[in-house]
Each structure stands twice: as structure tokens, then as C-alpha cells.
Amino acid sequence: MQIEVGSIVEGKVTGIAAFGAFVELENGKTGLVHISEIASEYVSDIKQHLKEGQKVKVKVIGMDKGKISLSIKQTETESGKREERRGAQKKRSERRAAQNSGPKQPPEEFEFVRKRTGDMSFDDMLQKFKQDSDEKFQDLKRSNEGKRSGGYKRAY
């Protein structure tokens, strides 16, 4: 069987070091599972997670100059991702069903907008916004008019 990056294979732990564990793969080649790729939580002692001779599923995450980098953590997340997605989809659908069941009312945080605008239509509000914006722009233009450096106006 050809080993490729991204493939998940089974192997046997042949050695444990402070920095990781050596795993012999099905084709007789050996790869290294770095300590950071053993579990999703912090691993201070590898021997608490793995034992020599233990069979493990590993994902090939890299191959460089004959060295094979492996990950146990990524195989756990691969199978766990499907479960998480199903759970998240179920939660979203339940949330949507709960939201759609009651009468539609705008959230309370928009109450201040209703008080300020009263019974104005959207076009009226847009016109008022444009007018306020133009006034503010004219005020800004007037205040900056005489503040040119050098005491004279630039000629373009």
C-alpha cells in the first residue's frame, strides 16, 4: 500500500521519546507522531496516552526526505467533525423552529429608532438623513476653509 499525505492508516507504537512516539506503519516504514499531534489537549507525558506495542490510527500529515510525520489528534478530529456537524445542524434547526413559532416583533434594542422616527416612511427618513448629512458636510467645509497652511489658497 502506498502512503500518501492525508491518508489515514493503522500502525503500531514501536518507541516513545520525550518529543513524540515512533509508529511502524503497515508497509514496514516508521513515522513520528510529534507530542503536539498526540491529543487535542495538552500532553505533558506521552506515556499517559500511548504504550509501546499499542495499535493506533494515524493520519499522514507530511513526508520530507524519507521522514514521515504522523498525527493521532487529526484522526480523532476527522471522525469527531462529522458528529459535531450533525449536532450543530440539529441545534440550528431547533433554534430556527423556535424563532419561527412566535409572532414577529422587532427586538427591544430598535425601540429608540421607532421613537426617533415616529411614523415616517423609509423615503422620508432617507431624505432627512441626506439633508442632515449635507448640512454637516457644509459645516465641515466652512470650518476647514481658512485653515490652509501658508496663509494662502492653493490654485489648481
Return the residue matching grid coordinates 481658512: 146
44 or 149: whose pLDDT is higher?
44
Residues 118 and 50 in one domain: no
Q: Within a domain: residue 148?
A: no
Q: Within a domain: residue 150?
A: no
Contact predicate 43/34, CB 8 Å: no
Contact predicate 20/34, CB 8 Å: yes
Q: Within a domain: residue 149?
A: no
Pairing of strands 67-71, 30-34: parallel
The Cα–Cα gap between 32 and 110 comes to 57
DSSP assignment, residue 36? G
DSSP H or E stretch at residue 73 = helix 73-101
The model's confidence at residue 12, banded by pLDDT at 50, 70 and 90, is: very high
Residues 86 and 115 in one domain: no
> What tens digit of pLDDT does each residue of 42-83 get?
888 888 889 999 999 999 999 888 889 999 988 876 555 555
The Cα–Cα gap between 59 and 56 comes to 10
The model's confidence at residue 154, banded by pLDDT at 50, 70 and 90, is: low
> What tens digit of pLDDT does each residue of 95-140 get?
777 666 665 666 665 665 666 666 778 888 888 889 999 999 998 8
Q: What is the DSSP string of 79-126?
A: HHHHHHHHHHHHHHHHHHHHHHHSPP---GGGHHHHHHHTT--HHHHH
Residues 18 and 57 in one domain: yes
pLDDT tops 90 at residue 15: yes
Query: Range of 130's domain?
Result: 108-140
Tally of structural domains, the chain = 2
Residues 112 and 98 in one domain: no
pLDDT tops 90 at residue 14: yes
pTM, two decimals, is 0.49
The Cα–Cα gap between 133 and 140 comes to 11
Contact predicate 1/27, CB 8 Å: yes
CB atoms within 10 A of CB 15: 12
Q: Within a domain: residue 91?
A: yes
Q: What is the mean pLDDT of residues 86-103?
A: 67
Residues 129 and 67 in one domain: no
